[in-house]
């Protein structure tokens, strides 16, 4: 029996009173049976199904059978218990076998369907954040942490924290990602070298496991679950609340882009800056490549210098952009001058190629939003994104640079998108967590963030990614992929290496029926 109350744009299928099983049918013809006694509100209308089947990557298309818009964590727990075949109503157990898979979906900014649940139920985590009581973000009385509903976007965590003069300490470049989504990967950016990834800055989590149990975990309480879930690609449970560490919020930022034509000097300065202490050093460090076969975005630089910067790129074919930021407010004004002086005197860039903007802290952290708006206005946001994100051991970065940047990227007729290139410190990562990183003190974050469209289709870009991986393989450069999507089990085993055993053990402990986040393709 199909129950569907057609309500305007969004069809709400509200299941009440009767105990008759309800069948929701996806467009792909796969069915999800939910008994009415579950009392869950799921959406099965084409709009909701279609929205949950796509992601930012714009490459995959996987229809769920239904989308759950939960108003409380207990609803998610009920759904998962039922999917396990263990839901009981009136003392009667329902179906003995799992009936469908379940995936949490934050903002759906995955690249390859990682938040999808083909034929199963996608849990819209935004609904849970909107229903959170007393609020999606609650700052502690002493301002040292925030309890955050996991479906909340980081930009909203920032806004709520700033009202109290505090802020999370480590960020992704883009803030319109959900807390649960980035904690399921790592959450990295220009502050990672100093504070670690976002997963290193979590005190406690509320998680609904793959068995439907609601558990609180931390380093001391249920540590297996805590370690597993952080960077755990959604495999062990659905995070509903995260307790995030906070620090003092500065008011302003000196944001610099410093140009190099010499890779060795660029690399040396990047590595020196990430080794400096907080007082004397910078608060944020990244790097980008400007290549003559790509679109050279000079908008950061003063109008009077833009032509000069563009010709530099043309003349050298590649310019390395060191991007650093130092936070300040009225109490730290003297320090900012010292640090800016240190940067301009001690770094090895060519004279006259350091450019500084002075911006509010919020605008600095939210800088990628401006890029998003630009791309959206040009129709270039909702295009396929065959992005490649990798971590490269510091000891092999020169070989990577020579083989991949010089050998492959610069030899393309054109490149479309941004290439990130910066080092970070491994001692800020907790190796017990699920995320994998190279086994060296310093490793580089490389993001080859190409967009398809125009003359290039995404398969061509994907072929280039394959060549990059192959080059590393052939040269013995032991990279780790980030935000990866493998379809072969052996690739996952290789990725997790010595942690594979723990990963499987935790899967058996917390999601024995392998219901969660099937879009990651690890245990399907």
Binding region for ligand FAD (CB under 6 A): 55-56, 103-110, 114-115, 125, 150, 172-174, 177-178, 180-182, 184-189, 233-234, 238-239, 483, 517, 519-520
DSSP at 402: I
Q: Kindly tell me which of 68 and 186 has the beta carbon lying closer to ligand FAD.
A: 186
How many angstroms separate the CA atoms of 254 and 375, rounded? 25
Q: How far is the CB of 236 from ligand FAD (least distance, A)?
A: 8
Choice among 62, 206, 271, 286 that is catalytic: 286
> What distances in angstroms separate CA 180 from CA 109, 149, 222, 439, one per listed residue?
12, 8, 18, 26
For ligand FAD, give the closer residue by CB, 101 or 252. 101
Tokens of 8: 């305007």
Whose Cβ is closer to ligand FAD: residue 208's or residue 472's? 208
Nearer to ligand FAD, 51 or 162 (CB): 51
Q: Cβ of residue 254: shortest distance to ligand FAD, in angstroms?
A: 21
Q: What's the half-sphere exposure (Cβ side, CA atoms, 13 Å) at 442?
A: 15
Burial class (CB in 10 A: 0-12, 13-18, 19+), 498: exposed
- Distance of alpha carbon 165 from alpha carbon 269, whole angstroms: 32
Q: How far is the CB of 108 from ligand FAD (least distance, A)?
A: 5
Q: What is the number of other CB atoms lying within 10 angstroms of the CB of residue 304?
A: 7
Least distance (Å) between residue 91 CB and ligand FAD: 31
Q: Specify whether the CB–CB gap between 425 and 197 falls below 8 A.
A: no
Nearest distance from C-beta of residue 183 to ligand FAD, angstroms:
7
Active site residue 401: no
- CB 391, CB 477: distance < 8 Å: no
Q: What is the rounded CA–CA span in Å between residue 138 and residue 211? A: 28
CA distances from 108 to 10, 52, 55, 153 (A): 19, 8, 5, 11
- DSSP-derived 3-state class of residue 131: helix
Q: How far is CA 109 from CA 175, 225, 239, 385, in A?
A: 11, 24, 17, 11
Is 173 a known active-site residue?
A: yes
CA atoms within 13 A on the CB side of 279: 1
Count of residues for the chain?
524
54, 62, 75, 109: the catalytic one is: 109
Q: Would you state the structure tokens that stand for residue 476, as one six-digit string?
A: 């013995």
CA dihedral defined by 354, 356, 362, 365, rounded to 10 degrees?
-10
* Cα-trace Rg, the chain: 24
Q: Which helix (H) or strand (E) holds 265?
A: helix 263-274
The position carrying tokens 């009173």 is: 17
385 is catalytic: no
Nearest approach in angstroms of CB 8 to ligand FAD is 25
Q: Measuring CA to CA, which residue among 369, 371, 280, 382 is closest to residue 324?
A: 280
Beta strand ranges found along 262-317 (DSSP E): 284-291
| Nearer residue to ligand FAD within complex by CB, 87 or 171 | 171
Structure tokens that stand for 101 in this block: 């898979």
Smaller CB distance to ligand FAD: residue 94 or 286? 286
What is the smallest separation between the CB atom of 115 and ligand FAD, expressed in angstroms? 4
Cβ at position 103, least distance to ligand FAD in Å: 4
Could you tell me which residues come within 8 angstroms of residue 74 by beta carbon, excluding any fewer than 6 positions away?
214
**DSSP letter string over 405-446?**
IIIIITTSS---EEEEEEEEEGGGS-TTSS----SSSEEEEE
Min dist CB 113 to ligand FAD, Å, is 9
Least distance from C-beta 240 to ligand FAD, angstroms? 7
Distance, in Å, from the CA atom of 15 to the CA atom of 12, rounded to the nearest integer, reads: 9
Catalytic residue among 173, 204, 213, 224: 173
Query: Other C-beta atoms within 10 Å of 86: how many?
Result: 16
C-beta closer to ligand FAD: residue 270 or 517: 517
CB nearer ligand FAD, residue 37 or residue 184 = 184
Instruction: State the catalytic residues.
Output: 109, 173, 286
């Amino acid at each position: 029996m199909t129950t569907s109350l057609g309500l305007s744009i969004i069809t709400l299928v509200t299941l009440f009173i009767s105990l008759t099983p309800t069948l929701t049918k996806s467009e792909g013809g796969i069915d999800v049976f939910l008994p009415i006694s579950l009392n869950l509100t799921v959406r099965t209308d084409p709009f909701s199904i279609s929205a949950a089947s796509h992601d930012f990557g714009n490459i995959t298309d996987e229809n769920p059978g239904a989308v759950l818009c939960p108003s409380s964590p207990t609803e998610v727990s009920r759904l998962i218990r039922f999917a396990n075949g263990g839901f009981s109503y009136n003392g009667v157990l329902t179906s003995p076998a799992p009936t469908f898979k379940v995936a949490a979906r934050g903002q759906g900014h995955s690249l390859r369907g990682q938040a999808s649940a083909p034929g199963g139920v996608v849990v819209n985590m935004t609904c849970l954040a909107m229903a959170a009581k007393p609020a999606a973000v609650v700052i502690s009385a002493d301002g040292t942490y925030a309890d955050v509903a996991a479906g909340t976007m980081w930009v909203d965590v920032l806004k709520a924290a700033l009202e109290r003069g505090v802020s999370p300490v480590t960020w992704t470049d883009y803030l319109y990602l959900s807390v649960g989504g980035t904690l399921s990967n790592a959450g990295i950016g220009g502050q990672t070298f100093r504070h670690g990834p976002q997963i290193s800055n979590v005190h406690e989590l509320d998680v609904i496991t793959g068995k439907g149990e609601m558990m609180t975990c931390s380093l001391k309480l249920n540590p297996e679950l805590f370690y597993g879930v952080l960077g755990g690609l959604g495999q062990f449970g659905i995070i509903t609340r995260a307790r995030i560490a906070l620090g003092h919020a500065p008011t302003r930022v000196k944001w610099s882009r410093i140009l190099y034509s010499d890779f060795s000097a660029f690399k040396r300065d990047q590595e020196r800056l990430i080794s400096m202490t907080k007082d004397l050093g910078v608060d944020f460090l990244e790097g980008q490549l400007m290549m003559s076969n790509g679109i050279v975005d000079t908008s950061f630089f003063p109008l009077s210098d833009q032509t000069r910067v563009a010709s530099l790129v043309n003349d050298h074919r590649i310019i390395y952009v060191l991007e650093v930021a130092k936070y300040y407010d009225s109490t730290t004004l003297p320090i900012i001058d010292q640090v800016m002086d240190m940067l301009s005197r001690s770094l090895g860039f060519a004279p006259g190629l350091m450019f500084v903007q002075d911006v509010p802290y919020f605008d600095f952290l939210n800088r990628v939003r401006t890029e998003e708006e630009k791309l959206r206005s040009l129709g270039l946001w909702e295009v396929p994104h065959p992005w490649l994100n990798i971590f490269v051991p510091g000891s092999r970065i020169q070989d990577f640079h020579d083989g991949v940047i010089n050998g492959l990227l610069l030899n393309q007729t054109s490149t479309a998108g941004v290439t990130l290139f910066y080092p970070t410190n491994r001692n800020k990562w907790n190796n017990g967590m699920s995320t994998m990183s190279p086994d060296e003190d310093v490793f580089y974050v490389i993001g080859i963030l190409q967009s398809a469209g125009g003359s290039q289709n995404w398969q061509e870009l994907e072929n280039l990614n394959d060549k990059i991986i192959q080059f590393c393989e052939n040269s013995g450069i032991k990279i780790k992929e980030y935000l990866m999507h493998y379809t072969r089990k052996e690739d996952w085993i290789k990725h997790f290496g010595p942690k594979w055993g723990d990963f499987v053990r935790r899967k058996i402990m917390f999601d024995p029926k392998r219901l969660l986040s099937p879009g990651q393709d690890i245990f399907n």
